[in-house]
Amino acid sequence: MNRRKFLQLGALTAPLLTTTKSFAKKLDQTTKPIVISTWDSGMPVNAEAWKILSASGSALDAVEAGAIHIENEINCCVGLGGYPDRDGIVTLDSCIMDHHANCGAVAGIERIKHPVSVARKVMEKTPHVILVGAGAQQFAIENGFILESNTLSNDAQNAYTEWLKKSEYKPVINIENQPAVQAGKKQNGPFAPNFFEDGTANHDTMGLVAMDVKGNLSGAVTTSGMAFKLHGRVGDSPIIGAGLFVDNEIGAATSSGTGEEVIRICGTHLVVEFMRQGYSPEMACKKAVERIVKRDKAKAKTLQVGFLAMNKKGQYGAYAIQKGFVFSVKSNNENQIHSSKYIL
């Protein structure tokens, strides 16, 4: 090739190379800060977390603030306004985990408004990971938390009164009922979700994962657990590796749905391990859901589990057993609700 031709070719390919380079750079870019959370009720939760993330605060503070926000909702299935167990008692589960694999949790705690903050105190002030029941409540009170009234919220009382007519424990698929959420319709009945004024619904579990400007990951989960459960039942939400797992080298994951199925497969730990093997967050969640379905397909058809994950690049994804699992994302690029893919 003579010099003239070479220069001509160079002039033609230069823009192409620049485009390829900038495309590669874009692919390589990390989205941070970013917060993702389960369900459409994650939108206000993300907004709260974002106040901290956007001011260069830590992912740990952000996820706690997000969880506190939804625990404050009086007619919500997550905090003290949630549905009680079969004995009419609201018991709350929560956990939190940071980028050093520090973690804390409370399970079956009663009459404490912010279990996520008690979980953080367990993480920061004790050599333990999980406190349960009366011991968790005692620890909370010793650390300045107020013992709240044990009166059920109006919605919870109505649902419980209705449930007592049959007293039948049965997890309901998509209690969240996404089509109704989209239509902004109010549902009736004991398993109907509550609705915020903006038309979004609230659900039995709030799990969120955030990455801060430094690239550190943290996560938190808070829930009143399955409505009308046996007194003393603990779901996946406060179990590290089931309802939440964070590995700052790889990524983080959280879950929502029937906790027993998530515990059986150490669900979020499994999702993170799949990401370690190189799977995208969405594929990692899919493979964990497949594990549940493979074990007992007939049973899986009767229940819902959704996983939500983020990797160190701020890429995220979700997968569920059934249609209807949605999640919320907030970053500098977006602020929206996504529908998860599903298997059955």
Which residues are identified as catalytic?
A: 205
Handedness of CA 277, 281, 283, 286 (dihedral sign): positive
CB of 24 to ligand GLY, least distance (A): 40
CA distances from 328 to 26, 117, 203, 208 (A): 23, 22, 13, 9
Q: Is 108 left (phi over 0), alpha (psi -120 to 50) or beta?
A: left
**Positive or negative CA dihedral for 58, 252, 42, 128?**
negative
Q: Which of 104, 225, 241, 317 binds ligand GLY (CB under 6 A)?
A: 225
What six digits make up the tokens of 139? 């620890």
Q: Which two tokens stand for residue 194?
A: 């509550």
Q: How far is the CB of 85 from ligand GLY (least distance, A)?
A: 11
CB closer to ligand GLY, 34 vs 90: 90
Q: Which is nearer to ligand GLY, 34 or 246 (CB)?
A: 246
Considering only residues 146-175, where is the footprint of ligand GLY by CB under 6 A? none
The kind and range of the H/E element at 261 are: helix 259-264
User: In the complex with ligand GLY, which residue's Cβ is closer, 33 or 257?
Assistant: 257
Range in contact with ligand GLY (rule: CB under 6 A) among 55-63, 94-102, 118-126, 219-227: 219-227
Specify the DSSP class assigned to residue 259. H
CB of 234 to ligand GLY, least distance (A): 8
Interatomic CA distance for residues 207 and 308, integer angstroms: 9
132-154 burial, b if ≥16 CB within 10 A, otherwise e? bbeebbebbeeeebeeeeeebbe
CB nearer to ligand GLY: give 213 or 293: 293
- Does 235 engage in binding with ligand GLY (CB under 6 A)? yes
**195: which DSSP letter?**
B
Residue 245: enclosing H or E segment and its boundaries?
strand 244-247
The answer to whether residue 204 forms part of the interface with ligand GLY (CB under 6 A) is yes
In terms of CB distance, is 33 or 104 closer to ligand GLY?
A: 104
Q: How far apart are CA 240 and CA 236, in angstroms?
A: 8
- Residue from 58, 194, 237, 248 touching ligand GLY (CB under 6 A): that is 237
Give whichever of 65 and 244 is closer to ligand GLY, judged by the CB atom.
244
Q: What CA–CA distances, in Å, run from 122 to 11, 103, 244? A: 63, 8, 16
Q: How far is the CB of 259 from ligand GLY (least distance, A)?
A: 2
Question: Which contiguous run of DSSP H or E holds residue 165?
Answer: none
Tokens of residue 124, six digits:
């920061």
For residue 115, state whether it binds ligand GLY (rule: CB under 6 A): no
Burial 72-94 (b: 16+ CB within 10 A, else e): ebeebbbbbbbbbbbebebbbbb
Short-list 94, 114, 112, CA closest to 103: 94
Written as six digits, the tokens of 92 are 């709350």
Cα–chain center distance at 254: 5
Q: How far is the CB of 83 from ligand GLY (least distance, A)?
A: 11
Shortest distance in whole angstroms from residue 236 CB to ligand GLY:
5
Count of residues that bind ligand GLY according to CB under 6 A: 12
* Among 205, 268, 328, 331, contact with ligand GLY (rule: CB under 6 A): 205
User: Which of 98, 110, 236, 273 forms a contact with ligand GLY (CB under 6 A)?
Assistant: 236
CB 258 to ligand GLY: min, Å: 6
Stretch in the footprint of ligand GLY (CB under 6 A) among 98-106, 181-189, 221-229, 330-338: 221-229
Site string for ligand GLY, 246-285 (x = CB under 6 A): ----------xxxx--------------------------
Sole binder of ligand GLY in the list 223, 268, 311, 331 (CB under 6 A): 223
Nearer to ligand GLY, 50 or 191 (CB): 191
> Where along the sequence are the contacts to ligand GLY (CB under 6 A)?
204-205, 223, 225-226, 235-237, 256-259
